Structure 1
């Protein structure tokens, strides 16, 4: 596409997304097919059109001669990727940038933790009608605002209005298209009346989502420090109930439907967040913790930076000098031990008792000695110490085996897992010190009953989905009679319907009901 076709006067609009700029370029170019614009902008097919996290930014910079900035600045200022980067490692962010600048995203969303994060990896385009009217008056065109596109933003940060969702660029409608916000493709929310508490909590989430996205690519939160801060600021009592109170106003809004709804689930959620992470965690989970414990991202960031500085200062302190070992080996010892307490006859008797494996506390009581004296004597007599340790291990082993046998006799029908629950400390000792014997015993024990995974009741699922769709149709149109709906209209009423129907061999009743809606 020539520079004249781009239009030198076409500049970034305030808060505009990269997808919005490309869509404007598409309409100004006069191309009838999205693929033609995509080829000239990115040297790629239309399948690379992504409205949330784009790809092909290096090619865009090259094909446009950097007219709208360098690739890295576009990623940082005009896409939602900075929303995900603060909780990623430097290497993860560097790898993601390579994919975004390259011709294909590959498994990036999975690597960022979006696919399994509990909030979905699909980020529909959203717009505020008040912003659209203002943009039309001031700029002559309505466009996509970055502040509306961050995951978790339900209301406009400026007008506090519930955002509309676009039916284009979805799996089920106009998947690879360039589009601008307009009344014909925007769908109003179906949330009904929103309480003041819900609106307040949604506005708070919109604010912190924008705040997180504005931190840029250079800001990174140490996951170990983050978990430590969560542990430090947890309420001392009723933490799970406190979290439930905080998130309950959000659960009926997308994408917050999967948040904990019971104290057990809230406890599990907190446990996941306060331990050192073993995988990527969706930023919205962190924002749940941050808004609950800190209120806003800036307060959390200050606490994080202070904690990191303290860790760095502690690690910079010089290590304490090692304490010299002043003990004298038997071969180099001069003279004899002081005879005030340990006379030769007394010492010989003491060593004899220790060699038999007598417990230290019993030795102390019998000979009126301190534990320190007994330990010093063992260190001085390495042969006796080895005999004592071997004998103690044999005695402890026999004792623990006997206790395990008694436990088995008390619960003869228990499996290994059930016996472990009865006495965790006993199992732990045997697992650490006598594992072969424990496994030999376990092989003779009854196996836990394995209930095969129940077969999915597809008929019940089909009935439930068909009833849910029918109820939504009646709620929206008053009746399901005399309608002639498009597939995109039906999918927009029930967004998860398209995903369910990807199983082409399932849901026959729902499919039949949809055909009736098409024909009427």
Structure 2
């Protein structure tokens, strides 16, 4: 047998197989990141450098090396002939972008997809506000060991799941075990390399070494919430007003809203701090739920803004609702309340679109009875046990019925009465009570004329000043010997208001307290500098009789002062003129003597 020809044929066959293999691409599994696909492609092609594989797929040596937001997706889709999907599909299904845009407007999502499809994503993290977010802008690689074993047994290789790459995800949402994390890509060397879960070069560590049993359920719910943002969008899209109403509904269920609709801020902060105490020291939760930061969650409810980090939203959702399904149910209900429905369409489909709550059913029965003239609106609301004002508001917003309202006519006589009361400085509630007008009507009259508003403010201030002064005078008439501390400690006499708005009158009217029992200040005698000068001079004259300085000593005053005996004071030559002159003469003699030698 000709072994040389056999070896040559085998070598040629291997080369042909290798070339054929270099044209192959691994499968892109559901939830796998493009960074994982790029790594698997490098292993399949046996490329020595990651930049070579990345340039082959993305047309750029670094576009696919970003494990969070890769760029050049348009070029990647073209080079792979659309097998893995369009740039939008790749960005929304194989990157972590949906997590960061879950609570952002659609224009932000479109800008992010355009950036990832283009040639650079340098500004993308700033568009999403990541540098200022609690979790920052750089995230390590994370994986679940059980998921990795399952992937190897099922698919033949490990791959990175995007549900493990989310901020504040400490547990795998599938197997509920601690994720293993590697920060190798956060340094300059690792950013140009490709890794797969299980590689020895990753130097993995657990996301949290020590967790209390109370922290695990909270972290498990956070992982589930974070994973839900990748695949489950908000019904009807993001709407700030609907989200605020949804959060307020959650506060109502927890008893954190007053009957008037105000937030019990102190109770809310205390409840949030107590609920998240097991994880308040973990990063990045310490920047959201710690005692000093939890009050910032109130801004999400009081004044929702576009651009709040997703992590902050998820903290509030976990506290108010516990899981994504309950939150979405409440959000869907509030979103439909804010829409302008057609009456006919609502009657045929409202049972499918609105949650089957007793309140919704009662509103439908009231609206049906009002349209068919089964009774007055007040009688129908009374029968259903619903407040008439609440029913009118929701029926109008839902478009269930056209309720005619009889606006109150403000006659000239009533208007003149309102203006006179306002010019006299009466509070708005008193004006409403005397004229039977609503506060909004009185406020509209007040703001129709800027001069009237300025007059009302000045008159109200003087009116309040007179009331508080009279109240304090009455108190002092009954307590003529009252001092300032007594007045300050007595509540209900307007001391705080007078202190802010009429301080000079208050000080002149109330006698200041007399301090008693304090020891008289002892008078300290003045320093006898001339006596000290004479005492120091006498000591210098004694020292001068046997003064000897070594050749290496510097001829300055300290050299002589340190040879003085211990004095009852520290010699301060600037205050001892005779002693200073004597020392200077000694130093001159010593300099002459040293020069002569």
TM-score normalized with structure 1 length: 0.61
Match in the other structure for 1:302: 329
RMSD (Å), alpha carbons: 4.3
From 265, 282, 287, the counterpart of 1:253 = 282
Cα distance in 2, alignment partners of residues 74 and 106 from structure 1: 19
What are the residue-to-residue correspondences of 1:361-440 with 2, within 5 Å?
371-372=434-435, 396=459, 399=462
3-state SS of the aligned residue for 1:151?
coil
Farther-moved stretch of structure 1 (141-150 vs 25-34): 25-34
Match in the other structure for 1:293: 320
Match in the other structure for 1:22: 38
CA contact (8 A) 1:82 1:215 kept: no
3-state SS of the aligned residue for 1:126?
strand
Deviations 1:478-497 (A, max 9, x none): xxxxxxxxxxxxxxxxxxxx
Cα distance in 2, alignment partners of residues 354 and 310 from structure 1: 41
CA contact (8 A) 2:275 2:319 kept: yes
What are the residue-to-residue correspondences of 1:36-185 with 2, within 5 Å?
36-46=52-62, 49-181=65-197, 182-185=199-202
CA separation of 1:147 and 1:255: change in aligned 2, threshold 3 A: same
CA separation of 1:279 and 1:397: change in aligned 2, threshold 3 A: same
Runs of at least 5 residues in structure 2 that lack an aligned partner in the other structure: 1-17, 257-266, 342-395, 438-447, 470-483, 485-495, 502-597
3-state SS of the aligned residue for 1:169?
helix
Aligned residues: 373
Higher relative contact order (CA 8 A, sep 6+): 1
What's the offset of the Cα at 1:65?
0.9
CA contact (8 A) 2:144 2:177 kept: yes
CA contact (8 A) 2:143 2:179 kept: yes
Cα distance in 2, alignment partners of residues 219 and 283 from structure 1: 18
CA contact (8 A) 1:53 1:80 kept: yes
What's the offset of the Cα at 1:14?
4.6
Does 1:236 pair with 2:255? yes
Match in the other structure for 1:278: 305
CA contact (8 A) 2:424 2:456 kept: no
Cα distance in 1, alignment partners of residues 454 and 102 from structure 2: 56
Cα distance in 2, alignment partners of residues 319 and 65 from structure 1: 56
Cα distance in 2, alignment partners of residues 305 and 272 from structure 1: 22
Does 1:225 pair with 2:288? no
Match in the other structure for 1:470: none
Match in the other structure for 2:443: none
Farther-moved stretch of structure 1 (177-186 vs 293-302): 177-186
Does 1:211 pair with 2:238? no
Q: Whose Rg is larger?
A: 2
What's the offset of the Cα at 1:246?
2.2
What are the residue-to-residue correspondences of 1:478-493 with 2, within 5 Å?
none
CA separation of 1:6 and 1:56: change in aligned 2, threshold 3 A: farther
CA contact (8 A) 1:247 1:259 kept: no
Cα distance in 2, alignment partners of residues 5 and 82 from structure 1: 34
Cα distance in 1, alignment partners of residues 436 and 25 from structure 2: 90
Runs of at least 5 residues in structure 1 that lack an aligned partner in the other structure: 331-349, 365-369, 375-384, 411-421, 428-520
Cα distance in 2, alignment partners of residues 269 and 163 from structure 1: 29
CA contact (8 A) 2:240 2:305 kept: no
CA separation of 1:325 and 1:265: change in aligned 2, threshold 3 A: closer
Cα distance in 2, alignment partners of residues 307 and 394 from structure 1: 39
TM-score normalized with structure 2 length: 0.54
Cα distance in 1, alignment partners of residues 177 and 322 from structure 2: 21
Deviations 1:407-463 (A, max 9, x none): xxx9xxxxxxxxxxx669x99xxxxxxxxxxxxxxxxxxxxxxxxxxxxxxxxxxxx
What's the offset of the Cα at 1:154?
0.9
Does 1:189 pair with 2:218? no
What's the offset of the Cα at 1:61?
0.3
Farther-moved stretch of structure 1 (392-401 vs 87-96): 392-401
What's the offset of the Cα at 1:324?
8.1
Cα distance in 2, alignment partners of residues 124 and 242 from structure 1: 32
CA contact (8 A) 2:142 2:181 kept: yes
CA contact (8 A) 1:224 1:276 kept: no
Cα distance in 1, alignment partners of residues 463 and 70 from structure 2: 61
